[in-house]
């Protein structure tokens, strides 16, 4: 593909962001559909300044990742209803200098879970209280799951639990509870720190469904331990691809080549 002044530029902003496979996924989707676009990764500490750059440089859209998903909302012109209810944004579109935010994380998580299990009526533990936890929790709640927020920080955990009208328990209490589904929404276990996991092995019980939204590495230590314990495991690739497909369609107006995007990510991993 030839890049010139007519090429549409897209980006992912995060800290860290070197591990991100969003460029691989989206650039392969652009190539596959013949869309004249390019997607780049930027390590960003100041999200406000990054958004100024979006407008100044005419960047058409951006993915927002850790740790900016909640703070970024302060600097947007608009946000859709789902993003407002969640209180976090992972997708931005730039329409003539007007920045509008969306959230596709929850949608991706629900689709990934639904491929392996039923959500309605299940007791579900969500580890974490950041932007991803908000999105996942909100959408699972809409599907009828019973949520407990588990977090190291009581203040953040209780705030999210209150927003979701769900229970909160500190991380140290996880051994006292029983769950059907456990979801890690924190970056614990992500490359390059692949030898750690968000909970101890002894709290993973046979028969549970264990999902990790981390997709790099494909099999985190949490998922490896859960597999050995006899659990159904769900890696972060399915959620990642589904949320990326939403972004692609929002930005381009073209049907996302989901299989092409998933293969690009799997090959990279």
Q: Please report, for the domain that includes residue 84, its CATH number.
A: 3.40.50.10860
Counting residues of the chain whose pLDDT is more than 70, the rounded percentage is 100
pLDDT in the model for residue 233: 97
Phi, psi (rounded to 5 degrees) for 92: -130, 140
* DSSP state letter for 159: H
> pLDDT band at residue 53, thresholds of 50, 70 and 90?
very high
Q: Is the pLDDT of residue 208 over 90?
A: yes
**Does the pLDDT value for residue 175 go beyond 90?**
no
Q: What domain count does the chain have? A: 2
Closest C-alpha to 251, from 119, 108, 93: 93
Q: Is 67 inside a domain boundary? A: yes
Is 40 among the domain residues? yes
Say what the pLDDT of residue 186 is.
94
Q: At residue 2, does pLDDT exceed 90?
A: no
Which pLDDT value is given to residue 1? 74
Q: Average pLDDT in the 169-196 region?
A: 93
Kindly state whether residues 84 and 176 are assigned to the same domain.
Answer: no
Share of the chain above pLDDT 90, in %: 91
256 domain-assigned: yes
Phi and psi, residue 133, nearest 5°: -60, -40
Give the pair of three-digit tokens for residue 8: 């549409």
Instruction: State the average pLDDT over residues 215-228.
Output: 95
pLDDT of residue 19: 84
> Rounded mean pLDDT of 170-185?
93
Mean pLDDT, the chain, integer: 95
**Same domain assignment for residues 93 and 165:** no
Q: What is the pLDDT of residues 114-161, one digit of tens each?
A: 999 999 999 999 999 988 899 999 999 999 999 999 999 999 999 999
Q: Does 13 have pLDDT greater than 80?
A: yes
Per-position DSSP letters for the chain, written without gaps between them: ----TT-EEEEEEESS-TT--HHHHHHHHHHHHT--EEEEEEE-S-HHHHHHHHHHHT--EEEE-TT-TTGGGGG-SEE-HHHHHHT--SEEEEETTEEEEE--HHHHHHHHHHTTS--TT-EEEEE--SHHHHHHHHHHHHTT-EEEEEES-HHHHHHHHHHHT-EEEEGGGGGG---SEEEE-S-TT-TT-TT--SS-GGG--TT-EEEE---SSSS-HHHHHHHHTT-EEE-SHHHHHHHHHHHHHHHHSS---HHHHHHHHHHH-
- The predicted model gives 183-195 an average pLDDT of 93
Q: pTM of the full predicted structure?
A: 0.86
Looking at 45, 48, 60, 69, which residue is catalytic? 69
Q: Tell me what the mean pLDDT of segment 64-75 comes to.
A: 94
Residue 262: its pLDDT value, please? 96
In a domain, 165, yes or no: yes
pLDDT of residue 192 exceeding 90: no
Residue 60's pLDDT is 98
Query: Residues 30, 124: one domain?
Result: no
- Provide the pLDDT for residue 216: 87
137 & 193 share domain: yes
Q: Between vectors from CA 9 to CA 214 and to CA 69, what angle results, nearest 5°?
A: 40
pLDDT at 80 over 80: yes
In this structure, the answer to whether residues 161 and 256 fall within a common structural domain is no
Claim to verify: residue 60 and residue 143 sit in the same structural domain:
no
Confidence band, pLDDT 50/70/90 cuts, at residue 191: confident
Residue 118 sits in the same domain as residue 212: yes
Cα–Cα distances in Å, from 82 out to 66, 78, 95, 147? 19, 12, 19, 18
Average pLDDT over residues 23-51: 98
Mean pLDDT of all residues in 168-191: 93
User: Can you tell me whether residue 12 is helix, strand or coil?
Assistant: strand
| pLDDT on residue 73 | 97
- Residues 67 and 177 reside in one and the same domain: no
Residue 222 placed within a domain: yes
Let me know whether 124 and 220 are in one domain: yes
Q: Average pLDDT, stretch 100-111?
A: 95
What is the CATH classification number for the domain harbouring 210? 3.40.50.720
**What is the extent of the structural domain holding 216?**
106-235
Q: For residue 57, is it within any domain?
A: yes
Told to judge if 69 belongs to the known catalytic residues of this protein, a careful annotator would answer: yes
């Amino acid at each position: 593909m030839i890049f010139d002044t007519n090429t549409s530029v897209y980006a992912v902003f995060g800290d860290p962001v070197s591990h991100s496979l969003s460029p691989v996924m989206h650039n392969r989707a652009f190539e596959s559909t013949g869309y004249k676009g390019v997607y780049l990764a930027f390590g960003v500490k100041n999200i406000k300044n990054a958004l100024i750059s979006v407008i100044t440089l005419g960047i058409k859209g951006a993915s927002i990742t850790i740790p900016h998903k909640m703070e970024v909302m302060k600097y947007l012109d608009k946000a859709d209803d789902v993003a407002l209810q969640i209180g976090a944004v992972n997708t931005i579109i730039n329409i003539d200098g007007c920045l509008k935010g969306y959230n596709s994380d929850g949608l991706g998580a629900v689709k990934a879970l639904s491929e392996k299990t039923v959500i309605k009526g299940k007791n579900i533990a969500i580890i974490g209280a950041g932007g991803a936890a908000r999105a996942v929790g909100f959408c699972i709640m809409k599907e009828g799951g019973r949520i407990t927020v588990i977090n190291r920080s009581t203040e953040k955990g209780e705030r999210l639990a209150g927003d979701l009208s769900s229970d909160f328990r500190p991380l140290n209490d996880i051994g006292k509870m029983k769950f059907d589904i456990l979801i890690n929404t924190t970056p614990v276990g992500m490359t390059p720190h692949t030898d750690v996991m968000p909970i101890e092995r002894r709290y993973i019980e046979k028969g549970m469904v264990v999902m990790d939204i981390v997709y790099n590495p494909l099999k985190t230590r949490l998922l490896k331990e859960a597999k050995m314990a006899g659990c159904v495991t769900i890696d972060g690739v399915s959620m990642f691809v589904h949320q990326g497909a939403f972004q692609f369609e929002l930005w381009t107006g073209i049907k996302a080549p989901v299989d092409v995007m998933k293969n690009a990510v799997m090959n990279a991993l």
